[in-house]
Amino acid sequence: MITMSEEWVSLWYRCMTWNIDYGMYCRARAAVDETTCKQLEAKFPGIADIYTDFDELDKWPEDGLQSEQWRNWFEPRRELFMPQIGEVITPTEHVAKQGHVLLDLPLLANQADTEELVQQYLKSYYAKPGFIPAAAPKYNLHLTDGKLALNLKEVRQACVSAEHSYAYFSDDADEIGFKKAVTEFVRHHIDDMGWSLDEKARKLLDEKHRLSDENHSSFAARLTRSRRHFVALCRNAIRGRFPDVSEFDSLVLKKF
C-alpha cells in the first residue's frame, strides 16, 4: 500500500518553493494584483485552492523536519495530507464526525494484547451494515495505473541534487570543470543521495578527491537524471500532482 507520509509532504513543499509561477501568484495575492492573479488562475486551474491550503512558502530550512518553521507550517495542515489519530482529553467537548469513533480504550499491561483488543473491535465495527468511512485527505500521492512515477528515495535524490549541485556547477564549465563539479558534488553529498562506492573507490574520493572514469560517468548520469526529475516535479507540483514527472508548462527556478 502506497501511503502519504510527513517526508512526502516535505518534499512536495520543497518542490513548490522552486516553482516560479507559484511564487508570482503568492506575490500577486499579497499585493492584491487581481490582473496577475486571474492570468495565473486561468493558466493553472486550482492554483487559488492550493494557495489557500499551502499559503506562502519560505525557503526549506537547514534543519529540515525538526525545524520550528516546518512544524509551524505542517501541523495545522497535517489532515490535508494524511489521516490523524488524536487523543480526546475532554470527552464532553468532543464533536462527532462522520467516519470517526470515540473509544474508551483500556491500556493493558502488554501492548500486543491492547493491539489485539483494538483489532477485534475494529473488525466488528467494520462489519456493521451501513458503515461509512471517514473522508479521504484532500491531497494524495499522484498515481498512474496504481504506481508512483518516482519512489520516495528518487524524489529525495531529486531534491538534494537541485538544492546542492548549484554550488559546484557553472554554465560555462568545460569538460574538465564539469568532471570536477560532479566529483565535488559526489564527495560532499554521496551519503545524502544514498549512493555508495566500494572501499577502495571511497578512499580515493575522500583522500584524493578523485573518481575513476567509470564511476564518474555513472554518477554524472545519475545526477543529471535526478536534476531532470526535480524540474518535472516542480512543474507539476503547482497543479496539485505529486510526484509527477509528466510534461507540463510551468516555470521553475533553475540554479543548476
Sequence-distant (≥ 6) Cβ neighbours of residue 197 within 8 angstroms: 190, 205, 215
pLDDT at 255 over 70: no
Sequence-distant (≥ 6) Cβ neighbours of residue 215 within 8 angstroms: 197, 201
156 and 231 share one domain: yes
What pairs with residue 19 in β-bridges?
A: 252
Sequence-distant (≥ 6) Cβ neighbours of residue 142 within 8 angstroms: 148, 149, 236, 241, 242, 243, 244
Is 208 part of a structural domain of the chain?
yes
Mean pLDDT (the chain) is 94
In the prediction, which pLDDT does 145 show? 93
Which among 83, 107, 137 is the end of a domain?
A: 83
What are the pLDDT digits (tens) for 151-204?
A: 999 999 999 999 998 788 776 656 678 899 999 999 999 999 999 999 999 999
- The cell for 236 is 507539476
Percent of the chain topping pLDDT 70: 97
Is 76 part of a structural domain of the chain?
yes
Chain CA centroid to CA 216, Å: 28
Is 188 part of a structural domain of the chain?
yes
pLDDT at 131 over 90: no
* Domain span including residue 57: 6-83
- Stated pTM of the model: 0.88
What are the pLDDT digits (tens) for 97-126?
A: 889 999 999 999 999 999 999 999 999 999
Is 151 part of a structural domain of the chain?
yes
Percent of the chain topping pLDDT 90: 82
In the prediction, which pLDDT does 127 show? 92
- The cell for 211 is 573518481
From residue 26, give the alpha-carbon distance in Å to each of 23, 52, 57, 70, 166. 5, 10, 9, 19, 25
Least confident of 83-97, 151-165, 207-221, 239-253: 83-97
For the chain, what is the domain count?
2
Which among 39, 63, 83 is the end of a domain?
A: 83
In the prediction, which pLDDT does 166 show? 78
Q: pLDDT category, 256, cuts 50, 70, 90?
A: low
From residue 255, give the alpha-carbon distance in Å to each of 170, 227, 245. 9, 11, 19
The answer to whether the CB of 251 falls within 8 A of the CB of 47 is no
232 and 151 share one domain: yes
Report how far residue 94's alpha carbon sits from residue 174's, in angstroms, rounded to the nearest whole number.
65
Which among 52, 83, 114 is the end of a domain?
A: 83
What are the pLDDT digits (tens) for 210-223?
A: 999 999 999 999 99
Q: pLDDT category, 11, cuts 50, 70, 90?
A: very high
